[in-house]
Amino acid sequence: MSGNFIILTSMKLTVAGLAKILKGKFVGEGDTPLKNLSKIEDAKPGDITFISNPKYLVWLYKTDASVVIVNKDLKYDHEKIKNLILVDDAYLSFNLLLNKFSQSKLSHKGIHQTSSIHKSTQLAKNVSIGQFSVVGQNCIIGQNVIIMDNVSIQDNVSIGDNCVIYSGVRIYDSAVIGSDCILHSNCVIGSDGFGFAPNEKGEYIKTPQIGNVKIGDKVEIGSNSSIDRATLGSTVIGNGVKIDNLVQIAHNVTIGKNTVIAGQCGIAGSTKVGENCQIGGQVGIIGHLVIGNNVRINGQAGVFSNIKDNSIIKGTPAINERTFNRSYVYFRNLEKIVGDINDLKKLNDNNN
């Protein structure tokens, strides 16, 4: 977050009030007024900030912020501190604070006159649809959904309550999107999977993709990410999944609940990823694999085989993280090792 982020100019917030919101304990002057959220190194009087990374501890005594949110077990010099809020998890508390007050940035604006909504589509209460957005036939749009400008929603799409669809999103026909989802600009839901079959002349003939995409509740999909529709059946994104920008999810893939996928990843067709997995940036996973639950895949790994539950893997081809790290020590010294082996061979040849 760069610079300050204004919370609510009309809201009167104090250190004591913020501590109550965060279910924490304040140290210092509880009636100090607060206005903004800020990075600790940029903070000014009136700002709220936090520390969760130890490398920023030096700023605890240098910041001009009016209050700092910290872990309650943090060791600090009581004589040098102004105002603190002590919580179980400072990072989580600040994240909850961002979520709570950033909602004020998104307000219901009604349905713009330049939008096009088919008469067969059902809109629930408090739906907002921006300029030049199009909603096709027989769609169902839930309560409090915000559809921003230039969004295209094809026929027979279902969107649950409290979703935010940012500008430029494309949702193809028959997609099902749960409640409390966020789709960022220019992501594509339900484009054709990559399916072609060669004929006797070696020409590639397109395989029709007649399935759909099903997205659970509380899913967030980053900008310019693409989730392909299934050839048959559904491509499934489970509840609570978080997908970064520039991610490709191929046809018939299944992603288990609460899995997070960082930017520039690609998951090929029909692979099943388990629950609570963490997939680092630029990971590539080939098709028709089974990735277990609670798996952690380090960035830039290439996954070519099934992965068991609770594994931590890295490298290409991806292997157990500890095995990779041990092997890498030898790899870095490979030239010396080869030289030593050649010297031993020469010594052995001379002795013979």
Which residues are catalytically annotated? 251
> How many of the other CB atoms lie within 10 Å of CB of 104?
13
**List of E strands, 168-298:** 170-171, 176-177, 182-183, 188-191, 196-198, 204-206, 212-215, 220-221, 226-228, 234-237, 242-243, 248-249, 254-255, 260-261, 266-267, 272-273, 278-279, 284-285, 290-291, 296-297
Helix, strand, or coil (residue 79): coil
Q: Given the structure tokens 């095995």, which residue do they identify?
A: 323
What is d(CA 238, CA 240) in angstroms, rounded to the nearest whole number? 6
Tell me the sheet residues that pair with 38.
4
**Which residue shows structure tokens 């206005």?**
35
Parallel/antiparallel/unpaired status of strands 158-159 and 170-171: unpaired
